[in-house]
Amino acid sequence: MYKKNSCTAASTTASSAAAINNCTDNENHPSSSSAPLKAEQLCIGVEFSCLLTDHSQAYLFDVATGTLGALLTEENIISVSAGQEHVLLLAEDGTVLSFGHGSRGQLGHGTLDNVSEKAIPIEALQVRIF
């Protein structure tokens, strides 16, 4: 069984693995006419959960129904993490992006604003070469 606020392999339970691996990818929202995706990582939070596919794509994930939601970014993602009200994504190029509720500054953007369209890079974590 999945635990809230924990990252776990998608194959932890047979029913969840079947639901996840039967999901499909079609730009921002999966459709039944596209090729099946394979789950690489699933992170469960209280407000948001995130699924990382074998194609380095990060989607919102509805744990209750086993369905994919919106694609969080066009970046190639290598790891995901879910907090209580937010999701963090690590891109292939080292960029860290955040998505979700920012009411306590947990998104790392120096504000209390929410990020609800697409995940955005955390500027303070960008590597600067002088």
Which residues, 6+ apart, have CB-to-CB distance to 73 below 8 Å?
Answer: 58, 89, 91, 97, 118, 119
According to the model, what pLDDT value does residue 20 have? 37
User: Domain locations in the chain?
Assistant: 6-125
Nearest to 38 by CA among 53, 27, 52: 53
* Residue 2 near residue 16, CB atoms below 8 Å: yes
Per-residue pLDDT tens for 24-79?
Answer: 444 455 555 567 889 999 999 999 999 999 999 999 999 889 899 999 999 999 99
Neighbours of 112 (CB within 10 A): 12
DSSP state of 65: T
pLDDT of residue 35: 72
- pLDDT at residue 91 above 60? yes
